[in-house]
Structure 1
Amino acid sequence: MSVTNASSGTNVHEIADGIYRINTPLDAVPGGFSFNQYLVVDDEPLLFHTGPRKLFPLVLEAVESVMPAQRLRHLALSHFESDECGSLNQWLAIAPQAAPMCSRIAAMVSVNDFADRPARAMADGEIAHLGRHALKWIDAPHLPHGWENGFLMDTVTGTLFCGDLFTQGGSGERALTEDDILDPSEAFRKPMDYFAHAANTGMLLERLACEAPGTLACMHGSAWRGDGANLLRALGERLAAG
């Protein structure tokens, strides 16, 4: 693990081939919390989640430790929220060829108004070819929240950029773990329950499971490696049980 800012603890770690987790721990809640972004280094580099506006200098420093930030071509977000895209326009200012990437609904209701350049609005099932990586957009409304929500699945490395699913408290000190993250994420979810519990939640989790991810790129806490299909189905069972 490479610490890119000693005062904040921001760090970078490669969790899959050409995919880097950028992690900043915060004392936002008792027990700690963390924000992650994921950088896909390729012919057309992609950053999944920009981080909040105030974290921009730290995330920029971390990206620059891996590659020149001005090379970025895609700034992807799962849904419109500050930790997903708060610094979007700051990134657009330093990466002249970059554009936002989001669902069609997100582009329509928020991103094309907020962003300084138009978004690449992804259709459900559309694939973005970055070079070696091929990222499939999966619409997932209200999972866990946000009408416009969706995820990216790297069909080459088997990495699912799963947004706020499996959010864990703590600093996310371990960049990639094979330990259980379902129980810790459920312990974090239940007190404030940020899931929408929509009627199609189970169906959407099954659809993600059918992608058979081997790595889950979580936005808060550790990324995870293992049988992603089994873990997603287990989450569905927990949510169905109430």
Structure 2
Amino acid sequence: MTVTNARSGTNVHEIAHGIYRINTPVHIDGGPGGFSFNQYLIVDDEPLLFHTGLRKMFPLVHEAVASVIAPARLRHIAFSHVEADECGSLNEWLAAAPHASPLCGTVAAMVSVNDLADRPAQGLADGQAVPLGHHTVRWFDTPHLPHAWECGLMMEERTGTLLCGDLFSQGGAELPSLTEADILGPSEAFRRGMDYFSHTPNAGAMLERMALLQPTTLACMHGSAWRGDGAGLLRALAQALAN
């Protein structure tokens, strides 16, 4: 792990080949206490950043990306759904990376991103793949899982990394970059306390679809990334949501 900003604690760690977790720990007054915001950088011929981070966090994330590649090299600014921590600094990134475009689902492009963004979005259909060079990401629509009509997840197929957005969010600011320990228990405690899932009746089917991809790394937006039997963990989450 490399700390890129000593004051904020922002740090970078390679969680899979060519995939870097950028993490900023925070403490939110009146909120859930210690928390963390993660972005994921895929380094390749066409580099991709998944999650932009909050607009006010842009200097920290930019500094972290710059510790790995020149930010101007970015070609894709991707995110799961429209929310401040997902795409709040989208336009700042488009300015910093003049050849990049927003990458999101077709619903997000239609209802929000083509109005909010300074450049047109590439709206991905369900199941559409985007080759980056050695890596390939594939978009999967997950409406209302965990929340937002336009929500979706991305699978990086070479490394078996599921960019799983707000699934398995864990509270706490001082967590390991990558763990093989239990994250379902902490994430379920956090979900029950915050109640941020939409409780869609289609959750089980969508999680089973993700499980069939057999991910071996889960790139969580909040808390540790996780390595292990991703299919088993996704099915355990589906069962927890059904209870």
What is the TM-score of this pair, normalised by structure 1? 0.99
Alignment of 1:6-85 (within 5 A): 6-28=6-28, 29-85=31-87
Give the aligned partner of residue 99 of structure 2.
97
Which consecutive unaligned segments of at least 5 residues does structure 1 have? none
* CA shift for structure 1 position 172: 4.8
Which consecutive unaligned segments of at least 5 residues does structure 2 have? none
CA distance in 2, matches of 1:20, 1:210: 24
Alignment check: 8 A CA contact 1:23 1:172 kept? no
Q: Which 10-residue stretch deviates more, 154-163 or 191-200? A: 191-200
1:195 aligns with 2:197: yes
* CA shift for structure 1 position 173: 2.8
Alignment check: 8 A CA contact 1:11 1:24 kept? yes
- Residue 149 of structure 1 aligns with an amino acid whose one-letter code is C
Give the aligned partner of residue 204 of structure 1.
206
* Correspondent of 1:132 among 114, 131, 134: 134
- Residue 202 of structure 1 aligns with an amino acid whose one-letter code is G
- Residue 106 of structure 2 aligns with an amino acid whose one-letter code is R
CA distance in 2, matches of 1:58, 1:127: 30
Give the aligned partner of residue 182 of structure 1.
184
- Residue 19 of structure 1 aligns with an amino acid whose one-letter code is I
CA distance in 2, matches of 1:216, 1:210: 14
- Residue 237 of structure 2 aligns with an amino acid whose one-letter code is L
**Paired residue secondary structure (2:223):** coil
* CA shift for structure 1 position 56: 0.1
CA distance in 1, matches of 2:168, 2:96: 32
Give the aligned partner of residue 121 of structure 2.
119
Q: Which 10-residue stretch deviates more, 222-231 or 188-197? A: 188-197
Q: Which 10-residue stretch deviates more, 189-198 or 110-119? A: 189-198
Q: Report how many residues are paired.
A: 241
Give the aligned partner of residue 158 of structure 2.
156
* Pairwise CA RMSD: 0.7
CA distance in 2, matches of 1:83, 1:230: 28
**Paired residue secondary structure (1:189):** helix
* CA shift for structure 1 position 166: 0.1
* CA shift for structure 1 position 191: 1.4
After superposition, the Cα gap between the structure-2 partners of 1:171 and 1:206, relative to the gap in structure 1 and judged at 3 Å, is: same
What is the TM-score of this pair, normalised by structure 2? 0.98
Identity of aligned residues (%): 68
* CA shift for structure 1 position 30: 4.3
Give the aligned partner of residue 145 of structure 2.
143
**Paired residue secondary structure (1:32):** strand
Runs of 4+ in 1 over 6 A off after TM superposition: none
Give the aligned partner of residue 232 of structure 1.
234
Q: Deviations for 1:148-203, whole angstroms, at most 9, x for unmatched residues?
A: 00011011100000000000000153100000000000011101211111111110
Q: Which 10-residue stretch deviates more, 163-172 or 15-24? A: 163-172
CA distance in 2, matches of 1:172, 1:63: 21
CA distance in 1, matches of 2:193, 2:134: 41
1:166 aligns with 2:168: yes
Alignment check: 8 A CA contact 1:38 1:48 kept? yes
- Residue 125 of structure 2 aligns with an amino acid whose one-letter code is A
**Paired residue secondary structure (1:11):** strand
